[in-house]
Structure 1
Amino acid sequence: ICDKVGMKTDGVILGKDLINLNDEELREIVEKHNIFAKLSPDQKATIIGTLRANGHVVGYMGDGINDAPAMKTADVSISVDTAVDIAKESANIILLEKDLNVLATGVVEGRKTYANMNKYIKMTLSSNFGNIFSILIAA
């Protein structure tokens, strides 16, 4: 999935590796790594908060009660239709299929749409430039 959306996977950090880190060390770790495993609910929320403090937009996908704090902290929270109620209530997006490929497809299609919008805006601006230039000269 990470490969499909162009996300590099640089090493795995485990929850036990984060226990004795201070805030500065954590800020550095989250910039160097992007896969975190075996985290407590508090660690999940702390990592998401640190990423947001570093200027990142953070998405989080969860389906259990222990994911609720992290989902509330994230910019975009995603859950599945079969998740527990608190996870669905915390989610901004609820997937009807329990398949991560849905997310990858959505990201790829979103990027295509964004690129097409930029092309259209540039084309429209360049085609109207002549009209604007003519009006300025005539005035």
Structure 2
Amino acid sequence: MRLDHGGLEILGIEECRALLAAAPLGRVVFTDRALPAVQPVGYAFAGGHVIIRTYATSRLATALRDAVVAFEIDDYDAAARSGWSVVVVGTARAVTDPADLAGLRALPLHPWAPGEREHYIRIDPRIVSGRRTR
């Protein structure tokens, strides 16, 4: 087991990917009007990418257009004082290819907010890291 300088266990890439595939809700961190912003999102992890659904004219869709973003998931048990966190950093791009869209529509992807959301965004991970405390 590898530990970081703060004593947290460093998660390997495969464990990070397994956690990404299992969690239903995450947070995307982006820049909105030159300021940092965070928004919870339902997502899917497919083909090594984070996939988000929104509507095309949303603040999120506009801010994520070809932008470098962070995406984070975590879990924490307050009673046991244990938990984990996985962070992905990469470029977000709208998915426009009809064949790609057909595949994404088949994913079990449930947006966090209600309403129709037919605009798909793919985050291409460049950095994936995770930590755990026990």
How high is the TM-score relative to the length of structure 2? 0.26
Q: Which has the larger radius of gyration?
A: 1
Task: Identify the structure with the greater strand proportion.
Answer: 2
Task: Identify the structure with the greater helix proportion.
Answer: 1
How high is the TM-score relative to the length of structure 1? 0.25
Higher relative contact order (CA 8 A, sep 6+): 2
